[in-house]
Amino acid sequence: MTDLDELRRITAAAAAAAPVAAAAPDAERARWLRAVADRLDEHTDELVRIADSETRLGSTRLGGEVARTTGQLRLFADVITEGSYLEAIIDHADPSATPPKPDVRRVLHPVGPVAVFSASNFPFAFSVAGGDTASALAVGCPVVVKAHSGHLELSVRMAELVAEALTEAGAPAGMFALVTGREAGNALVADPHIKAVGFTGSVAGGRALFDIASSRPEPIPFYGELGSINPVVLTSAAVSARAEELAKGLTGSFTLGVGQFCTKPGVVFVPDGGGFEDAVAGAVAGAAGGPLLTDRIAEAFPRGLQSLASDPDVTVVAGPVEQDAAAEGAQPVVLATTARAVRERPDTLLEEVFGPTTLLIRYGSEEELLGALAEVPGSLTATLHAEADDDVASIVGALRERAGRVVFGGWPTGVAVNWAQHHGGPYPATTSLFTSVGATAARRFQRPVAYQSAPAAHLPPALQDDNPLGIPRRVDGVIVLP
């Protein structure tokens, strides 16, 4: 466990590295990121062995996650060399305007050292060298990672490889470090050298850290991904046309990774009397369960099932509610209730259960559907399965209000890492308006600064008239490409 004296030395070193990293050219920071990616790729087999021993996620899933992680690092290297991430804007002076307008130029600057909290369910992609770390390093923010106790050995080894690669690539000392232990994690958020926090985890843990970040003498941004039940809506026409296909797709999605994906479809709105429950029961009969990530998660899963199943308006569609997930692994379970019950008891029926389970919610009309959707807490995703001639404008509008990504005709598990991705949503999905996946994740760790009537010698390169960086900019209201 990291003691508080060591923590203070680590954050002080990060603060000393911050101005050096901020001043480094984008191409140099891109080289740092690619060096880390290359180092992790070289050690994939070793890392997968360690991860599997701690998480039991399997070598196939873990190997793919390493590839996603290194691909993410390389994406951010491309993002910062392309240059639009700086959001450079130039408005030249206009003395003839009333009142006269001065020369104003705006660009984004890194906020400084960032704390990153690793997730339990993605030991690579949302962990030591995951998206939070990659996007922060990319824009010049030193990173201090709080390791997750569920994969501590992996975290330590990952941190060694990241630190070695950064040092060999010429990054400044203090650019990256790892701390362990709950006390160190709390102190990290409170440390005055830390200027922003990235977090993926539970609602309870996230809120506790969010409150620390907000109550500091100098409050800082807390970018937390907390809980998400990711609603799915099936129209009557869709169920009539392809019930078995939809049931297989749903089963594959809510059991993927033993139901431990943050985008697992936790509630599914289905037309009353459409026969979808029978189709799901058939699909689940052939679905496998498996071990959960930690003992704590394994103990909580049966309790969550039993809490839902004890509601008088909930029935069991498939799977055993009574199970010993800690000893025998978690088995898939499908429950069902009504839209009316959801509107009456949303706090009970819409509680997230982490593991391989989903709740079918029967609705009898669009009005009933929309009323129940309004009770769904903020989510990362919302999904719609409809037919081409369905009038779903109102449903799409309702789903857009509840989530940061609306999926049409697919399933929400799986998050592409690209320029357009948005992985966020209204609280409790996240505590901010920003994404933790994709190119614009870098925006979390930057702040805008405007330069008014600044001499050319004091302008950052992104704002100089001759555009030495060769980046896209908005000049006098017009996008100008290099």
How does pLDDT run across 90-143, given as a tens digit for each residue?
Answer: 999 999 999 999 999 999 999 999 999 999 999 999 999 999 999 999 999 999
Domain range enclosing 252: 232-408
b/e for 128-139, b at 16 or more Cβ within 10 A? bbbbbbbbbbbb
In a domain, 413, yes or no: no
Q: How many residues does the chain have?
A: 482
**Which residues contact residue 439 at a Cβ distance below 8 angstroms, ignoring those fewer than 6 apart?**
75, 76, 79, 85, 418, 419, 420, 421
Residues 215 and 288 placed together within one structural domain of the fold: no
pLDDT in the model for residue 39: 98
pLDDT in the model for residue 271: 97
pLDDT in the model for residue 56: 85
Residues 208 and 250 placed together within one structural domain of the fold: no
The string of pLDDT tens digits covering residues 335-391 is: 999 999 999 999 999 999 999 999 999 999 999 999 999 999 999 999 999 999 999
Structure tokens at 360: 């079918």
In a domain, 171, yes or no: yes
Domain final residue, candidates 408, 438, 468 = 408
Residues 153 and 239 placed together within one structural domain of the fold: no
In a domain, 150, yes or no: yes
Per-residue CA distances from 331 to 91, 141, 301, 462 (Å): 60, 42, 10, 55
Residues 169 and 50 placed together within one structural domain of the fold: yes
In a domain, 308, yes or no: yes
Residues 29 and 143 placed together within one structural domain of the fold: yes
List the catalytic residues. 225, 262
Q: Which amino acid belongs to residue 117?
A: F
* Residue whose pair of structure tokens reads 């996946």 in the numeric block: 437
The two counts, helices (H) then strands (E), for the chain are 16, 17
Residues 15 and 155 placed together within one structural domain of the fold: yes
Q: How many domains is the chain built from?
A: 2
Spatial CA neighbour of 421 closest among 201, 135, 206: 135
Residues 277 and 298 placed together within one structural domain of the fold: yes
Residues 134 and 105 placed together within one structural domain of the fold: yes
Residues 368 and 282 placed together within one structural domain of the fold: yes
Residues 239 and 122 placed together within one structural domain of the fold: no
Residues 318 and 404 placed together within one structural domain of the fold: yes
CA–CA separation, 34 and 386 (whole Å): 42
Domain final residue, candidates 346, 375, 408 = 408
Domain final residue, candidates 408, 438, 466 = 408
Q: What angle do CA 385, 386, 391 make, to 5 degrees?
A: 140
**Which residues contact residue 42 at a Cβ distance below 8 angstroms, ignoring those fewer than 6 apart?**
none
Q: Are 177 and 128 in contact (CB under 8 A)?
A: no
**Which residues contact residue 438 at a Cβ distance below 8 angstroms, ignoring those fewer than 6 apart?**
416, 417, 418, 419, 420, 421, 422, 423
In a domain, 239, yes or no: yes
In a domain, 419, yes or no: no
Q: What angle do CA 119, 120, 124 make, to 5 degrees?
A: 65
Residues 120 and 238 placed together within one structural domain of the fold: no
Q: List residues bridging with 343 in a β-sheet.
A: none
In a domain, 415, yes or no: no
In a domain, 251, yes or no: yes
CATH code of the domain containing 59: 3.40.605.10
For residue 217, cis peptide bond before it (omega within 30 degrees of 0)? no
CATH code of the domain containing 283: 3.40.309.10
Positions of the chain with pLDDT under 70? none
